[in-house]
Structure 1
């Protein structure tokens, strides 16, 4: 994989973990990576308070950190999705690089 993919994945993980510490009030956070023949997947999930519609709340999440993650990952050819986190609580932020 290209160096920009590694850097984008690292920065996304860094920002997602920072967001968990600052905002989630989570007791558990998990980070995992998956390599397949089709590409690379990175996810950070927590059991905190969640954010926006993607995690069962109000509007679509669009904080500066999430926007930056989406832009950085897209520039490296990937896509970010946000969904419900661990045990139906919190959030999962996932990047897929094909």
Structure 2
């Protein structure tokens, strides 16, 4: 596995840190369980107002090691949306799978 960081790291809201961690965790778990991949890469791209998390693998189409329910992918979308971010997941044209999550650096205050 390869991990890379781009941009200038800045303090993240605790919820953003946790969301990034859990999305990476789920993406790598899926790579291990389902992709028959030999490589995975995680890139953390720090921007002025957001963190982009990208997880890719080189899994082969149709080579899944096990069937899944898809709840992990849904969970990634829900986790990102819960803090005002987005997530996209799917196969890459060149093969393998990719997860991209755009998460806010800081969170807007909530009103109750």
Taking structure 2 as the reference length, the TM-score comes to 0.70
Counterpart in the other structure of 1:24? 35
Q: CA RMSD in A?
A: 1.9
Counterpart in the other structure of 1:70? 77
Paired with 2:86 and 2:61, the residues of 1 have a C-alpha distance of 20
Q: Would you say 1:91 and 2:102 are equivalent positions?
A: no
Q: SS at the partner of 2:38? A: coil
Cα 1:66–1:50 shift into 2, 3 Å? farther
Counterpart in the other structure of 2:110? none
Matched positions, count: 87
* Runs of 4+ residues deviating >4 angstroms: none
Q: When you count helix as a share of all residues, which structure comes out higher?
A: 1
Bigger-Rg structure (1/2)? 2
